[in-house]
Amino acid sequence: MPQQTQQLRELPGRRRARPTWTFFRQWLKNPLGIAALSPSSRWLAREMIAQLPAGARRVVELGGGTGVFTEALLDHGIAARDLLVVELNDELHRLLKRRFPEAHVVRGDARALEDLVRESGYAEAGPADAMLSGLGLLSMSRATQRDILRAAFAVLAPEGRLIQFTYGPASPVSREVLDDLGLTARRVGVAWRNVPPAAVYVLARSRSRPVKAVRTPSR
């Protein structure tokens, strides 16, 4: 078990509760910019982690929030040096930096993911094997969905996948955007004990029309 995760588990109850309060405070400030009223549950994290490809080593997380998925990834065995966490909200970004100092934690817009990966140095070790997303894609315009997914698959390996949850009854990404980018979306599970219940989808490149992968810098 990673040392930093063990230390987090040993924090007193008052300090352990602070991430939830931080998340709720940010929701109050910008309810349209944060997809949920409360952080994702451990049951949803479990459903998301279960969809990682066998042997996945390098993972990117979009919308790190308070670090529920981040902690689950570390518990799963993803090394902190192989984890990149992206969070746009300034206060949540600072919280993630404090909680996970050994991971690559960056503040920025997911649409600029290629730049964030390069500038953080994460790209030097190659593309990511998988990506977990806590972004509220369902509430975004098709143009924004398209920009985020194009950037996401630009930094994923050819067989990489994006694991996304949604509170809606259907795919969080429109068929038009999927077709434009040559992607498929498949519902793989539901976290019924999450509040509200959340469906988990896996997005991957269509075999007939792959999205071009990013070129990693030469050493």
pLDDT tens, position by position, 127-155: 999 999 999 999 899 999 999 999 999 99
Q: What is the pLDDT of residues 154-199, one digit of tens each?
A: 999 999 999 999 988 899 999 999 999 999 999 999 999 998 899 9
Pairing of strands 104-107, 128-133: unpaired
- Predicted local confidence at residue 195, as pLDDT: 84
Using the predicted structure, report yes or no on whether residue 104 has a pLDDT greater than 70.
Answer: yes
pLDDT-derived band at 2 (thresholds 50, 70, 90) equals very low
Peptide bond into 127 cis (omega under 30): no
Q: What is the pLDDT of residue 1?
A: 42
Question: What span, in angstroms and rounded, lies between the C-alpha atoms of 88 and 206?
Answer: 29
Decide if pLDDT at 208 tops 70.
no
Length of the chain: 219
Banded pLDDT at 212 (limits 50, 70, 90): low
Q: What is the pLDDT of residue 10?
A: 37
Token couple for 5: 């995760």
Domain limits, the chain: 3-205
Class of CATH domain 3-205 = alpha beta
| Mean pLDDT (whole number) for 17-43 | 51
